[in-house]
Structure 1
Amino acid sequence: MKQVTILVPHGGMMGSIEMPRQVFSEVNAYLESTGKPPLFRIQMAGLAAQVPVNNDRYLVNTDAQLKDIKQTDLIIIPALEADMDKYLAKNSEFIPWMVKQYKGGAEIASLCVGAFLLASTGLLTGRRCTTHWRAVNVFKRMFPEIELVEDKIITDERGIYSSGGGLSFVNLLLYLVEKFAGQAPFIFCSKFFQVDMDRKAQSPFIIFNGQKDHEDESIRKAQEFIEKNIHQRITVDQLANMLALGKRNLERRFKKATSNTVGEYTQRVKIEAAKASLVSSRYNVNEVMYSVGYTSTKAFRTTFKRITGLSPVQYRAKYNWEQVAGHIMKEN
């Protein structure tokens, strides 16, 4: 029987604590219904017998305290509240325990922004991970040595796993079910929890707000200029002249402040505006393309798909409310 330890950290998010318990419990129930013994021994473990979560709205009664668990096979790290510095400090006692368990053969999975606690162990250095797209800039600033793949739903790095934002952590849980329990329990759980396992990326869900949480006023002015002039073709030389900066100095400072090159940032801003137009307007794709400063249909479609994972037509069909509502009405 495999020991699954679901951490209950201070400031943990209740949904990502309870859902793993439900998923692995359903696997056990399914196996028992087919005449097989349960596979998982599930424990919710914290630093105390009772742990406040969800901004102290709930109190979780743990099954065990961390100090009493000498060995486990799989560790689940749930998402944390947004104040990462505060909650990483409050949960620092988990870190040496996780490192010891991993070196002893345990595997570790972080759910959503639980990646911050996992990254704090140092076990992700030189490896890839993902997290919620909204936390990407903060994560890059705090853990520059880790390769963050922000578009992925799941990463699997030699026994260390991570999941993207929101409810995509359920995809990771089912991925682990298939790995440890096999295909039949995996298929049962995907149907029971109604999870689309074909979804591989969180790119279509990303809302690009830019990275302005920095102190470089010149770069902030460059960002604002780009965002206010999406219909124009903006060059690095143009921005450098406007700000009275050298080209290389501008590019270096821009990358440091925003985690994007000037070109990348400009593309992200333009595509974000195009996404909004496709969702809220009746402009055709070419009209949307011209409105955000593209003149090449091929370049626009290629960039749009690279950033969102969908073509402009697919994106509109999926997220334009008029089209979605019309489809629903036809079905009913």
Structure 2
Amino acid sequence: MKHVTILVPKGHFSLVNIEGTHHIFSWVNEWLAQSGRPPYFDIQLAGLSQPALQSTGIYEINPGRLISEVHKTDLIIIPAVHGDIDQVLEDNRPFFPWIISQYKAGAEVASLCIGAFLLAESGLLDGKKVATHWQFANDFRKRYPKAIMVDDKILTDSDGLYTSGGAFSFTSLLVYLIEKFQGREAAILAAKSFMIDIDRNSQSPFILFSGQKEHHDDAVLNAQKYIEDNFQDKVTVDDLASRFGVGRRSFERRFKQATSNTVVEYMQRVKIEAAKKALEKGRKNVSEVMYDVGYSDTKAFRSVFKKVTGLSPVQYRNKYAPQEVKKALLSN
């Protein structure tokens, strides 16, 4: 039997993560019982105090046990947290030495969504790939430069440390863990029972790119604005460096450092974000959208679009276009 400890942090935590994990793992136990087999998950909630009141004052949870009473566990689940991250980390600092000691004793640890910040604060994610909600990826990257942020991934698995992407993608990680511990059949049945899209591995289609501008490099900020205002035109790195009075090599280095993208990557993402918005409206076909955002090569446009979003332009349009457009496409 695998002992699972779901943490109940101080502050504003995700009740959905806590209840959802308990519910889905409990379902596995029920499925096993129906098959004449013993339960696999021994699930408990543990916190720093009893009861644990959300900072919003809406929900109160009785963790059952304090972490000081949990001497040995096999799997730790860290739910998402919300609010001022500095305050959240400070309020929950007593968790970190306990998580570290449990991991060193053989426990595995899974963070859900923004819970990755709590796991990273322990230092265990240094040198490991990490997923979190795409909206917080840049903040995470700056705060924990030793971790390897993969903001397009739904989940990661590194040496017994698991992380998941944003919001309800935590269910994908739970199904992944079920398959790892109980096999493919259990994972498929759980996915079907809870209507979870099994084997989904990217959150790219959901990312809204607005450019990383929380820095103080004026030349880069001006270049970002120029790229965003002129994305339909052919703009080169040399043009930008010359326009803003910076040597090319220095400009590329500063741009990457400030935005976490190369200049070319940034230009591509701005173009693709414009294409996504046009395809969501459904008023133009893929070729028209391609030309509108400055591409003339269909193969190149499709390749970059899929690299950024994980979907082809046609797949993206079919997924996000208005209902009337989808109906028209189905009738053709």
Scaled to the shorter chain, the TM-score interval is over 0.9
Q: Which residue of 2 aligns with 1:105?
A: 106
How well do the aligned residues superpose, as a CA RMSD in angstroms? 1.7
> Which has the larger displacement, 92-101 or 238-247?
238-247
* Number of equivalenced pairs: 330
Task: Return the alpha-carbon distance in structure 2 between the equivalents of residues 306 and 185 of structure 1.
Answer: 32
1:41 deviates by 1.1
Q: Output the amino acid matched with 1:5.
A: T
> Which has the larger displacement, 37-46 or 245-254?
245-254
Task: Return the alpha-carbon distance in structure 2 between the equivalents of residues 252 and 237 of structure 1.
Answer: 13
Task: Return the alpha-carbon distance in structure 1 between the equivalents of residues 252 and 329 of structure 2.
Answer: 47
**TM-score normalised per structure 2:** 0.95
Q: Which residue of 1 aligns with 2:42?
A: 41
> Which has the larger displacement, 177-186 or 139-148?
177-186
1:222 deviates by 1.1
Q: 1:326 to 1:120 in 2, by over 3 A?
A: same
1:121 deviates by 1.2
Check conservation: 2:3, 2:75, Cα contact below 8 A.
yes
Task: Return the alpha-carbon distance in structure 2 between the equivalents of residues 54 and 286 of structure 1.
Answer: 50
Check conservation: 2:153, 2:202, Cα contact below 8 A.
yes
Task: Return the alpha-carbon distance in structure 1 between the equivalents of residues 216 and 56 of structure 2.
Answer: 29
Q: Which residue of 1 aligns with 2:302?
A: 301
Check conservation: 1:301, 1:312, Cα contact below 8 A.
yes
Cα distance per residue 1:21-53 (max 9 Å; x no partner) = 111111111111222221111111110012233
> Which has the larger displacement, 125-134 or 264-273?
125-134
Q: 1:72 to 1:328 in 2, by over 3 A?
A: farther
Asked whether 1:253 is paired with 2:249, we answer no
Task: Return the alpha-carbon distance in structure 1 between the equivalents of residues 326 and 54 of structure 2.
Answer: 37
1:94 deviates by 0.8
Alignment of 1:219-230 (within 5 A): 219-230=220-231
> Which has the larger displacement, 135-144 or 279-288?
279-288
SS of the equivalent of 2:163 reads: strand
Check conservation: 2:282, 2:325, Cα contact below 8 A.
no
Q: Which residue of 1 aligns with 2:321?
A: 320
Percent of residue pairs bearing the same amino acid type = 51
Q: Which residue of 1 aligns with 2:68?
A: 67
Task: Return the alpha-carbon distance in structure 1 between the equivalents of residues 298 and 61 of structure 2.
Answer: 54
Q: Which residue of 2 aligns with 1:159?
A: 160
Cα distance per residue 1:235-285 (max 9 Å; x no partner) = 122112221222222212211111111111110010000000011142121
Which ranges of 4 or more aligned residues in structure 1 deviate by more than 4 Å?
327-330
**Structure 2: tracts of 5 or more residues without a match:** none
**TM-score normalised per structure 1:** 0.95
Q: Which residue of 2 aligns with 1:218?
A: 219
Cα distance per residue 1:57-102 (max 9 Å; x no partner) = 2121111111110000000011110422221111111111011000
SS of the equivalent of 1:198 reads: coil
1:105 deviates by 0.5
1:127 deviates by 1.4
Q: Which residue of 1 aligns with 2:118?
A: 117
Q: Which residue of 1 aligns with 2:178?
A: 177
Q: 1:281 to 1:187 in 2, by over 3 A?
A: closer
Q: Which residue of 2 aligns with 1:196?
A: 197
Q: Which residue of 1 aligns with 2:94?
A: 93
Q: Output the amino acid matched with 1:89.
A: E
1:54 deviates by 6.4
1:161 deviates by 0.7
Task: Return the alpha-carbon distance in structure 1 between the equivalents of residues 326 and 300 of structure 2.
Answer: 30
Check conservation: 1:108, 1:160, Cα contact below 8 A.
yes
Check conservation: 2:172, 2:199, Cα contact below 8 A.
no
1:229 deviates by 0.8
1:206 deviates by 1.0
SS of the equivalent of 2:44 reads: strand
Check conservation: 1:317, 1:323, Cα contact below 8 A.
no
Q: Which residue of 2 aligns with 1:57?
A: 58
Check conservation: 1:132, 1:150, Cα contact below 8 A.
yes
Cα distance per residue 1:94-118 (max 9 Å; x no partner) = 1110110000000011111111111
Q: Which residue of 2 aligns with 1:6?
A: 6
Alignment of 1:255-274 (within 5 A): 255-274=256-275
Check conservation: 1:273, 1:292, Cα contact below 8 A.
yes
1:187 deviates by 2.5
**Structure 1: tracts of 5 or more residues without a match:** none
Cα distance per residue 1:114-141 (max 9 Å; x no partner) = 1111111111111111111111110110
> Which has the larger displacement, 22-31 or 265-274?
22-31
Task: Return the alpha-carbon distance in structure 1 between the equivalents of residues 225 and 60 of structure 2.
Answer: 44
Q: 1:306 to 1:86 in 2, by over 3 A?
A: same
Q: 1:91 to 1:179 in 2, by over 3 A?
A: same
Q: Which residue of 2 aligns with 1:241?
A: 242
Task: Return the alpha-carbon distance in structure 1 between the equivalents of residues 328 and 320 of structure 2.
Answer: 12
